[in-house]
Amino acid sequence: MTDKKEKIVEAALELFANEGYNATPTCKIAKKAGVSEGLIFRHFKNKKGLLEAINAEAEARYRDVVSPILFETDPKMVIKKTIEMPFNVDKSQFDFWKLQFKLKWEEEYFNPNKVKPLIDKLTTAFERLGYKDPLFESIKLNHILEAISIDIIRDNLAEQQLYKEFLLRKYSI
Amino acid sequence: MTDKKEKIVEAALELFANEGYNATPTCKIAKKAGVSEGLIFRHFKNKKGLLEAINAEAEARYRDVVSPILFETDPKMVIKKTIEMPFNVDKSQFDFWKLQFKLKWEEEYFNPNKVKPLIDKLTTAFERLGYKDPLFESIKLNHILEAISIDIIRDNLAEQQLYKEFLLRKYSI
Amino acid sequence: MTDKKEKIVEAALELFANEGYNATPTCKIAKKAGVSEGLIFRHFKNKKGLLEAINAEAEARYRDVVSPILFETDPKMVIKKTIEMPFNVDKSQFDFWKLQFKLKWEEEYFNPNKVKPLIDKLTTAFERLGYKDPLFESIKLNHILEAISIDIIRDNLAEQQLYKEFLLRKYSI
Amino acid sequence: MTDKKEKIVEAALELFANEGYNATPTCKIAKKAGVSEGLIFRHFKNKKGLLEAINAEAEARYRDVVSPILFETDPKMVIKKTIEMPFNVDKSQFDFWKLQFKLKWEEEYFNPNKVKPLIDKLTTAFERLGYKDPLFESIKLNHILEAISIDIIRDNLAEQQLYKEFLLRKYSI
DNA sequence: TATGAATGAGTATTCATTCAT
DNA sequence: GATGAATGAATACTCATTCAT
């Protein structure tokens, strides 16, 4: 990716995440990126094309974060790593995840199957640990983590460290 | 509220909830409501004014749903009613809640204090029931319910009844 | 048709005819018509929609010009009226016809069946008058008249009166 | 002319002829020619420069086609060769002529004197053959041939062979 | 000669909003 | 209260043209 193309993506990511896709004019992206407006369309064809380029990278990052869990064999470690996941997200990546959560509300970008591998992995883990309703347990844990992620991203969760320890304790980890 | 004013609100609610506020042109609202575009501005001054009118009603509805919990005295019942809350939302109201959840992502409409009364009530309840970390317990339950609400509204939660019973069991209810 | 809508059509006709459809920006049409640019799209949806509206009117005018010939019963009069047709076009209508001839070069707007009724009528007329190759005669006459029309519209035909008489003489009229 | 320069001219000719000069973006020409967009401007300075280069070649070709008539001494042969001219155009040259006819509608490229030598030659021929109105006869024949050319180029003339023979018969050739 | 990234002015189109009726 | 024509600023997108390599 050329220098300017990268600049466009960065600017767009920040603006889409914070002001919203529809509320962000392409001229604002161009100005923030320090490039001409036309260049956006030369590189991405569409405003939507730009969004999709960002989104494609997001899929990759999601996989990077989740795959260490999927390769874990110890059931306790599966749960531990899953709980720790949202707390480990670097601040520099918040815009990225903010955009992801926003886009979930657009039919077009919402893919309910995305979490399935993780749910499956958690279900197996809970099963091995002798939990009664392993599927519901994993759905519940996933729910907690989704909500936590949202709070963290929006800087709306106090005492993260203590809360994380509380959760780990709950699962006897 | 006159007949036509009501029609505008209904149309706007559905469109804002499903297509997004910025992505919905006023002419589309007018067409769907079967009124002239000008009438929207006679009744609401602004497009934003229309959104705020809808939003104000949402606050009222939120209070309607939560207040029965706040007036509950039995701690077990507090938790039971809280868990049951998202499962009892009528389908006819989904657009309403969908819009609320979407708007949470706009700084302007996000009010982190909104859930405070419920969190407090839950904390007290968990305290009375002898839970070790009542605050974190209530935050956790709230997280679960937020995530459930999102799934239900988006028609993304299977076996709701069984899941609800599972949760109640978890809290020994 | 409202006053302003009519103004738009007039301005567009003149510009499309003289500068070409693609070479005419909508802002120029708006300025010439003395209206806001947006109004063009409110009335015609598209720039192309505007062209098509003009074109539809052109079809009507063509029919108005040709139908008196089609209802003629005397074969000599059929030929006479046909020959006179291009010479009788009023100068105020030149832009209209200019645009028609230009558009014939766009696949999309070229309809080879348009002249068929006239060709048929002429063929019958030549047949009745005992011409040897009535179909070719009518094609030939039509060719002459098309070329004359083009010359007249572009103000490129000197001594129109004498030329017309020459042609009539050729057909012994 | 280098290989690539030639490719550009070919691509531009086809596109200008069929889609129109204004409707053809330079990037489309470049893609069709298999060269970079910049190269067009290195070779032709302008988009207009490219058009003019094509046009200059057209003038040459026109002269090639007409000069054999101008050097003809037998009046009958002058008329015969003139009539046969449009029927002899090779299909591979249609785009060339199509563009010429289209450009006639742009003031800038319309040169009414272009046909003058041919008209003069025809007039003299008709004079020698004892026709009454030699000038009008030659204008008329020219009109017929212009219209025929247009029809042939647009593949809109059936039974060309028979029609040509019909015309020759008309002039007792 | 040839490329392709980059530009900036332009162009069709949208849209919230106003206003006379 | 209600309409619908009209506006003008904004917006996504195009395109001829330049320039460093």
Contact (CB<8Å) D133/C166: yes
Q: Kindly report the bases of strand E lying within 7 A of a protein C-beta atom.
A: 1-20
Which residue is listed with tokens 């670097």?
Answer: A90
In this complex, how many residue pairs, one in chain C and one in chain D, have their CB atoms less than 8 Å apart?
60
| pLDDT tens digits, C94-147 | 999 999 999 999 988 999 999 999 999 999 999 999 999 999 999 999 999 999
Q: Are A14 and A96 in contact (CB under 8 A)?
A: no
Q: How far apart are CA A110 and CA C89, in angstroms?
A: 63
Strand E contacts in A 39-98 (CB under 7 A): 39, 42-43
Kindly state the tokens that stand for D29. 């020409």
Instruction: Give burial (CB, 10 Å; 0-12/13-18/19+) of C82.
Output: buried
Q: Which of D101, D140, D150 sits opposite C144 (nearest CB)?
A: D140
pLDDT in the model for residue A28:
98
Average pLDDT (B88-106) is: 94
Least-confidence region, from A136-140, B123-127, D54-58, D148-152: D54-58
Contact (CB<8Å) D105/C102: yes
Contact (CB<8Å) B143/A140: no
Amino acid at site A127 = E
Q: What is the 3-state secondary structure (H, E, C) of chain B?
A: CCHHHHHHHHHHHHHHHHHCCCCCCHHHHHHHHCCCHHHHHHHHCCHHHHHHHHHHHHHHHHHHHHHHHHCCCCHHHHHHHHHHHHHCCCHHHHHHHHHHHHHCCCHHHCCCCCCHHHHHHHHHHHHHCCCCCHHHHHHHHHHHHHHHHHHHHCCCCCCHHHHHHHHHHHCCC
Strand F contacts in B 23-52 (CB under 7 A): 35-39, 42-43
pLDDT in the model for residue A129:
97
| pLDDT tens digits, D15-50 | 999 999 999 999 999 999 999 999 999 999 999 999
Kindly state the tokens that stand for A41. 């369309």
- Give the CA dihedral C35, C36, C39, C40, nearest 10 degrees: 80
Q: Which nucleotide is closest, CA of B23 to its C1'?
A: E15
**What's chain B's length in residues?**
173
Q: How far apart are CA A158 and CA D117, in angstroms?
A: 93
Chain D residues touching residue C142 (CB < 8 angstroms): 147
Q: Are A29 and A40 in contact (CB under 8 A)?
A: yes
Least-confidence region, from B5-14, C54-63, D140-149: C54-63
Average pLDDT (D67-91) is: 96
Q: What is the pTM of this model?
A: 0.92
Q: Does D47 touch chain C if contact means CB atoms closer than 8 Å?
A: no
Average pLDDT (D133-148) is: 97
Please name the residues in contact with A158: beta carbons below 8 A apart, sequence gap of 6 or more: none
The whole-angstrom distance between residue B150's C-alpha and the CA centroid of its chain comes to 9
Residue nearest to nucleotide F6 (CA to C1'): C39
Q: Are B23 and B54 in contact (CB under 8 A)?
A: no
| pLDDT tens digits, B31-86 | 999 999 999 999 999 999 999 999 999 889 999 999 999 999 999 999 999 999 99
Residue D49 CB neighbour total at 10 angstroms: 13
Q: Does A144 touch chain B if contact means CB atoms closer than 8 Å?
A: yes
Contact (CB<8Å) B147/A151: no
Q: Does B1 touch chain A if contact means CB atoms closer than 8 Å?
A: no
DSSP chain A: --HHHHHHHHHHHHHHHHH-STT--HHHHHHHHTS-HHHHHHHHSSHHHHHHHHHHHHHHHHHHHHHHHHT--SHHHHHHHHHHHHHT--GGGHHHHHHHHHHTTSGGG--GGGGHHHHHHHHHHHHHTT-SSHHHHHHHHHHHHHHHHHHHHTT--S-HHHHHHHHHHHTT-
Residue nearest to nucleotide E4 (CA to C1'): D36
Residue nearest to nucleotide E19 (CA to C1'): B38
| pLDDT tens digits, C49-84 | 999 999 999 889 999 999 999 999 999 999 999 999
pLDDT in the model for residue A147:
97
Q: Which nucleotide is closest, CA of C5 to its C1'?
A: F5
- Is the Cα torsion angle A46, A47, A48, A54 positive or negative in sign? positive
Q: How far is CA C146 from CA A108, B116, C71, D151, in A?
A: 55, 83, 21, 11
Chain A residues touching residue B112 (CB < 8 angstroms): 156
Residue C115 CB neighbour total at 10 angstroms: 17
pLDDT in the model for residue D48:
96
For residue C18, the 8-state DSSP code is H
Mutate to test the interface with A, among B18, B140, B159 (most CBs of A within 10 A): B140
Report the mean per-residue pLDDT for chain A: 96
Cβ D36 to strand E below 7 Å: yes
**Percent of chain D predicted with pLDDT > 70:** 99
Average pLDDT (D104-124) is: 93
In this complex, how many residue pairs, one in chain A and one in chain B, have their CB atoms less than 8 Å apart?
60
How far the first Cα of chain D sits from its last, in Å, is 43
The confidence band for C1, taking pLDDT boundaries of 50, 70 and 90, is low
Amino acid at site C38 = G
Chain C residues touching residue D107 (CB < 8 angstroms): 18
pLDDT in the model for residue A1:
67
Residue A2 has pLDDT above 90, yes or no: no
State which residue of chain B sits closest to A17, comparing Cα positions.
B105
Cβ B26 to strand E below 7 Å: yes
Q: Which of C101, C112, C148 sits opposite D156 (nearest CB)?
A: C112
Cβ D101 to strand F below 7 Å: no
